[in-house]
Structure 1
Amino acid sequence: MHISNCVFRDNQMGLLASNTETAELIIENSLFAEAPNQDQPLPHLLYAGRIASLKISGSRFHSGHVGHLIKSRARETDIRYNLIFDGPTGMASYEVDLPNGGQATLIGNVIGQSAATSNPVLVAYGAEGNAWPSSSLVLSHNTFISDGFKPAWFVRAWRKRLPAGFRVHTFNNLVSGVGLFDYGLPGIHQGNYPVWSGAFAGKDVLNFRLNSLSWLRGIVRRPSIEGLDIGPTAQFSLPIGSSKRSIPERLMPGAFQ
């Protein structure tokens, strides 16, 4: 199924894909927002069941309530160039939940947690146990933000519930807010930098580019893992969508150049 230029707002479950292990779901340039404040549990904005693959690009997720912004049980999950930022009115739990592991790649996203979150974890991996033959998580050139006063757990993997050989690789990510980033994650971790909220050009207007005086310009190289290029080739563009970019060899960490 291919979904493009759609809006899912104020739904009990924004979009729910059932457990069909041959199914593929592609979502482009769409909006998922404003989960209802209701007694029924866990109104996720997007929930992909145990399917073959989920791909999300150029889309925006905000204003969750108790449930997660994105939940995927897919064998392969590919999330690139999205604004997954709950915002000041949001009360989501996880921003990205990958409860059964699988092969997951997150590149060039802004992933942000509100001060009113019900859970300190932003990206959760393997919380409900492995369901696929292999599992690995790659996080490259994302911008992570926690607006709360309590420490966040930006990326958490449940090691005892995943295969012994699983890896989480993190390259050239920005982390804004108090908390843990690559704590206890088996894998390669390079070029990840903490920044304070004032380092962004205009966070209040959803401009998460580093300001023009940032010392982080050109400080990292284009990343690869096992010969595979995992650097960004585009950026999220407000209000919805992504734009292709010519990306140099020397880069800034984070979702924008």
Structure 2
Amino acid sequence: VVNAMFLDSQEGILGGEPSGQRITIDRSTFSGLGQCDESPSCSHAIYLANKGSVTITHSRFERGTGGHYVKLRAPTVSITDNSFDDTAGKKTNYMIDLSEGSTGLIARNAFVQGTAKENHTGLIVVAAEARTYRSTGLRVEDNDARLSPGDKTSPAFVADYSHDRLALGTNRLGPGLRAFETR
């Protein structure tokens, strides 16, 4: 998917295939997407599951209306050079949810967490639902993350349920953000 816009609907990209696919999303915009209160399961800007890899680059995520901005169930990810702007988001959850764990790279992204979140406890969350994939060596580095003005919460930049050894490098975190939390 290249140079695409997904605007003002329940779900941006939803897909799953139990094969070794390589899915790539580049230079795309995801705005006004997601929900968690209109149906039993949530919708997200991107929700992908496969046994291969997912790469997301040079894309913008903004103004979410529920769910996660990126929810992936894949053994390998590369999420680089993106912008996650949640300042106008409503009822959103995580910026990046690697629901079953993953290895790969999350780098050079800009994150601004908004105040009108349903779940503000973590920006990047690893293996919150299962430990299907090893997360040992998942690199999270060279990102910039901030809370929007007036936000008094203290979320973890990375919240880890996998208990694997992640490779957290240097990230620029604004006041109020905690670098890491094991859950």
TM-score (ref. length: structure 2): 0.88
SS for the counterpart of 1:181 is: strand
Counterparts of 2:173 and 2:91, CA distance in 1 = 20
Unpaired segments of 5 or more residues in structure 1?
A: 186-257
Q: Kindly tell me: are residues 36 and 46 of structure 1, through their superposed partners in 2, closer, same or farther at Cα, counting changes over 3 Å?
A: closer
Tell me whether 1:78 sits opposite 2:44 in the alignment.
no
Query: Which residue does the alignment assign to 1:246?
Result: none
Q: Show the 5 A alignment for 1:123-202.
A: 123-132=124-133, 134-136=134-136, 137-147=138-148, 148-158=151-161, 162=162, 166-184=164-182
Read off the aligned partner of 1:39 and give its amino acid letter. Answer: E
Counterparts of 2:181 and 2:89, CA distance in 1 = 29
Identical columns (%): 24
Counterparts of 2:153 and 2:180, CA distance in 1 = 18
Counterparts of 2:12 and 2:100, CA distance in 1 = 21
Counterparts of 1:46 and 1:68, CA distance in 2 = 8
Counterparts of 1:138 and 1:68, CA distance in 2 = 20
Counterparts of 2:55 and 2:131, CA distance in 1 = 20
**Number of matched pairs:** 177
Root mean square deviation, CA, Å: 1.9
How much does 1:22 deviate?
1.4
**Which protein has the bigger strand share?**
2
Q: Is the 8 A contact 2:64 2:88 kept in 1?
A: no
SS for the counterpart of 2:77 is: strand
Q: Is the 8 A contact 2:144 2:172 kept in 1?
A: yes
Counterparts of 2:101 and 2:109, CA distance in 1 = 19
SS for the counterpart of 2:33 is: coil
Q: Show the 5 A alignment for 1:95-110.
A: 95-110=95-110
Counterparts of 1:104 and 1:171, CA distance in 2 = 13
How much does 1:11 deviate?
2.2
How much does 1:36 deviate?
5.8
Q: Deviations over 1:198-236 (max 9, x none)?
A: xxxxxxxxxxxxxxxxxxxxxxxxxxxxxxxxxxxxxxx
Unpaired segments of 5 or more residues in structure 2?
A: none
How much does 1:89 deviate?
3.9
How much does 1:175 deviate?
0.6
How much does 1:33 deviate?
0.9
Counterparts of 2:90 and 2:147, CA distance in 1 = 12
Counterparts of 1:173 and 1:81, CA distance in 2 = 13
- Greater C-alpha Rg: 1
How much does 1:135 deviate?
1.9
Query: Which residue does the alignment assign to 1:239?
Result: none
TM-score (ref. length: structure 1): 0.64
Read off the aligned partner of 1:110 and give its amino acid letter. Answer: A
SS for the counterpart of 2:166 is: strand
